[in-house]
Amino acid sequence: MNTTDARRPLSPAERRPALVRGLFALLALTLVPALLLVGERVAGESAERRVAIVMDEIALAEQAAYLGRDVLELGRHYQALGLGGIALYEDTIETAAIKGRLAALLGREAYAVAAALGEPRPAVAADTTLVRPLEPGAADRLLSNSGVVPTTLTLAGETWYAWPGDTFRTRPAGADRGQVEAWHAAGFEIAYRPRNFPGLQDVGADYPAEARYLIYAGLQVAGHPAALGQVIDVSQDYLTAIIEGTPQDGMPVVAGRVPTARLLTFNQDYLNQRLRPAEVVEKYLLAANERNVTIFYLRPYTEEQLGDMLTNTEELVSGLRRALEREGFVVGGLTQLDVDYVPNAALRAGAGIGVVVGLVLLALAFPAPWGLLAAAALALLALVVAGASWAALALVSAIVFPVLGFALLRHTGWALLGATLLSLVGAALLVAVGSDRASMLAIEPFAGVAATLVLPPALMALQLLLRWRRPATWVRSLWGYRVRLGDVAVAVVVAGVLALVVIRRGNFPILGASEAELALRSALNELFVRPRFKELIGHPLAVLALLNPRWPAWATGPLIVAGVIAQASILNSFSHYHTPVMISLQRTLIALALGVAIGLVLVPLARTAVTLVRRWLNADAEAEAAHAPSSDSSDT
């Protein structure tokens, strides 16, 4: 295929360069409001960076029991190493009974007690939950928060309260005031963990005043679904934790109206069996630097598959504190409540105009009418995915700008830098139109993330196909094309790469990183902000295509598409609004520098390989020709 083929259709951008220059000028003007908004956000992110370290009390108590130590004394031991807070759960009937605050029986157990005492059998079902206080006020919260009024009965001369069903492990029984006061007096910050239950009443009435953080236990916010208004009212003096990777019913409603902070934790079994202290520290540090996580929720080791549980926990706590302080974080209580960034609506609208200009430029990059159809389809997709919102404009920006550089610029050695510059323009517009409190706290995640990684390379492939041939020509050529094994192999590789891009996205991908990749990531983290691997692969392949313009189009086309995947990854980085803007920028520039360097190394290697293969094929062809029968020979 030859790009000078007379059959190649011209795009509107090629026919009207003056129009394209005018649109680029308008795009530059829209950068002014966009950069003002980006600057405001960066200024807010440059404030003192504080993080809090808290530990799960239930897991700590389990470890203390294994070690034969008092849980508060063991907590003080870790406090000396850097632990600042303790996470205390709201009691259930079962935990309050274990502590001796309540007496609790099931109905069938009450039958046995009554029979032993010679009393009449209680008129309750066998699975009824019966409770009576053993300390003054121990049952007050149970009585006030229940949507079902308990019945009362007398057993062994004492008054018992009875609820239908076995709710030992699930019915909230309120805070253990003695426990809260003991840990608070020991200098620990208190993270309180309320529980939800159907029909819960008077939500938040007993949240401890000593607590600093609310971390809801389970997969629902306390009071969900009917009492979220009460939750919002009582949560204003606390920081409500948004647990990364753990959606909780009711949280999107509550988090939008209360002070919040992002929290990261790891499952107890995963910690015990898979994660050594240094690995955990690295994961927490990455979350602090790149995802704006400010509450680190630790669980101590409670098994010894990876070594001594006490030693490992000591290394985890002390190592985490040292690593955070080395990175410039202040380890201690969080003093700044929430994200207070509120974008100016007029500046946001100005940046939105820039996104629309980018969409028009994309339409002009395709031969008519395909560009108009592509732009209209993208606009419709954004409206379907995100509605008529700022998020829709952000999605358009994330899809359009990775394509513009390679679609509009000549494919010379400088095209990679031009394409990256345009991607950064798109990133500035994306940050400007998409950043607000809800998005920066990940309350409202970016809409259409998968589309931002798949559609840009697909659009680039389509644009390249239309650049070389008219659609009808492609149809005629492909209809009678004989598929060869090599074509199938290339198709499988391309499909595999695209699938890998999709399933490797996010913090909890379907397919995790290999040990070699994790080691390389760790080494890069020691040097600087870790670049994204999609860019470290895509940029070099783009360099390979741009510096070998004489290669056939079927060879350079897929390499350019790979380069667009790298550009899409740039926009994807900035679409993680909870990541500080300067971190995303550093990551982009580092990946570009490394990618160009790798590409410059690959170019001579690839040229040498092509030359050697060509010589080998030519030599084989000459040898075959030499052994072929002469055309003028005759049989005798």
What pLDDT digit, counting tens, does each position of 601-625 carry?
988 998 888 788 778 877 777 777 7
Please give the structure tokens belonging to residue 281.
């520290």
Residue 233 domain-assigned (yes or no): yes
Distance between CA atoms of residues 256 and 437, nearest Å: 8
**How far apart are alpha carbons 500 and 454 in whole angstroms?**
11
Whether cis (ω within 30° of 0) applies to the bond prior to 369 is yes
The answer to whether 598 and 566 have CB atoms below 8 angstroms apart is no
Residue 634 has pLDDT above 80, yes or no: no
The letter for the amino acid at 629 is P
Residue 634 lies in a domain: no
Whether residues 286 and 299 share a domain: the answer is yes
Residue count of the chain, please give it.
Answer: 636
Angle 52-55-61 (CA atoms, 0-180°, nearest 5)? 165
User: CB under 8 Å to 536, separation ≥6 — which residues?
Assistant: 591, 594, 595, 598
At residue 464, φ and ψ (nearest 5 deg) are -65, -40
Least confident of 108-112, 231-235, 399-403, 440-444: 440-444
Gap between the Cα atoms of 297 and 305, Å rounded: 21
Tokens at 635, concatenated: 């049989």
Task: Write down which residue in 331, 354, 385 finishes a domain.
Answer: 331
Lowest mean pLDDT among 260-269, 311-320, 479-488: 479-488
- Shared domain for 39 and 112, answered yes or no, is no
Residue 440 tokens, joined: 């920066």
Supply the pLDDT for residue 508: 46
The pLDDT assigned to 483 comes to 55
**What CATH number is attached to the domain comprising 213?**
3.20.20.370
169 lies in a domain?
A: no
Mean pLDDT of the chain: 85
Residue 626 belongs to a domain: no
Neighbours of 126 (CB within 10 A): 11
Percent of the chain with pLDDT over 90: 53
The answer to whether residue 475 is domain-embedded is no
Q: Are residues 208 and 227 in the same domain?
A: yes
275-297: burial string, b at 16+ Cβ within 10 Å, e else: bebebbbbbbbbbbbbbbbbbbb
Please count the structural domains in the chain: 3
d(CA 216, CA 218): 7
Q: For residue 20, which of 417, 360, 372, 430 has the smallest C-alpha distance?
A: 360
Of 331, 352, 372, the residue at which a domain comes to its end is 331
Enclosing H/E stretch for 290:
helix 277-290
- 3 state DSSP class of 44: helix
Q: Out of 163, 184, 207, pick the residue that ends a domain.
A: 163
Q: Which band of pLDDT confidence, cut at 50, 70 and 90, is reported for residue 556? A: confident
Rank 290-299, 421-430, 612-621 by mean pLDDT and report only the highest.
Answer: 421-430
Domain carrying residue 233: 51-90+175-331
For residue 432, what pLDDT is reported? 93
At which residue do the structure tokens 């959606």 appear? 247
* 188 & 141 share domain: no
Closest CA to 368 of 3, 4, 9, 8: 9
**Ranges of H-type helices in 481-532:** 485-503, 515-527
Least confident range from 165-174, 278-287, 463-472: namely 463-472
- pLDDT of the residue at 3: 42
pLDDT of 431 strictly over 90: yes
Please, are residues 203 and 210 in contact by the beta-carbon 8 Å criterion? Answer: no
Q: Tell me the torsion sign for CA atoms 91, 337, 285, 343.
A: positive
Same domain, 310 and 431: no
Q: Do 318 and 184 belong together in one domain? A: yes
Question: Residues 6 or more apart from 563 whose CB is under 8 A from it?
Answer: 406, 416, 419, 538, 539, 541, 542, 545
Residues 513 and 598 in one domain: yes
Same domain, 106 and 86: no
Cα atoms in the Cβ-side hemisphere of radius 13 Å centred on 517: 11
202: left (phi over 0), alpha (psi -120 to 50) or beta: left
State whether 250 and 273 are in the same domain: yes
**Contact in structure between 173 and 102 (CB atoms under 8 Å):** yes
How far, CA to CA in Å, does 54 sit from each of 78, 316, 335? 10, 12, 15
Mean pLDDT computed over 158-185: 93
Dihedral sign from CA coordinates of 395, 397, 400, 401: negative
Could you tell me if 186 and 84 are in contact, meaning their C-beta atoms sit under 8 angstroms apart? Answer: no
CA atoms within 13 A on the CB side of 623: 6
Residue 69 pLDDT exceeds 60: yes
Residue 157 lies in a domain: yes
Find the DSSP H helices in 291-414.
309-326, 345-365, 370-386, 390-408
Identify whether the C-beta of residue 405 lies closer than 8 Å to the C-beta of residue 419.
Answer: yes
CA separation (Å) from 171 to 93, 131, 206, 471? 6, 11, 15, 66
For residues 506 and 450, what is the distance between their CA atoms, to the nearest angstrom?
Answer: 10
Q: Interhelix angle for 57-67 vs 309-326, to 10°?
A: 140
pLDDT over 90 (residue 95): yes
Residues 31 and 83 in one domain: no
Q: In this predicted model, what pLDDT tens digit does every residue of 346-356 receive, in sequence order?
A: 999 999 999 99
Q: Do you find a cis peptide bond into 225, omega within 30 degrees of 0?
A: yes
8 Å CB contact between 244 and 212: no
Q: Tell me how far apart the alpha carbons of residues 214 and 87 are, in angstroms, rounded to a whole number.
A: 9
Name the H helices within 409-484.
Answer: 415-434, 437-440, 449-468, 471-479
| Residues in Cβ contact with 523 at an 8 Å cutoff, skipping those fewer than 6 apart | none
Answer whether residue 68 shows pLDDT above 60: yes
Report how far residue 113's alpha carbon sits from residue 100's, in angstroms, rounded to the nearest whole number.
Answer: 19
Give the span between the Cα atoms of 538 and 564, in whole angstroms: 7
Nearest to 227 by CA among 261, 196, 252: 196
The rounded radius of gyration (Å) of the Cα atoms in the chain is 32
Question: Residue 624: inside a domain, yes or no?
Answer: no
Q: What's the confidence (pLDDT) of residue 568?
A: 93
Q: Is residue 81 situated within a structural domain? A: yes
**Is 603 exposed, middle or buried (CB count within 10 Å of its CB: 0-12, 13-18, 19+)?**
middle
Considering the domain architecture, whether residues 301 and 346 belong to the same structural domain is answered as no
Same-domain check for residues 250 and 366: no
What is the average per-residue pLDDT within 416-423?
94
Contact between 302 and 309 under an 8 Å Cβ cutoff? The reply is yes
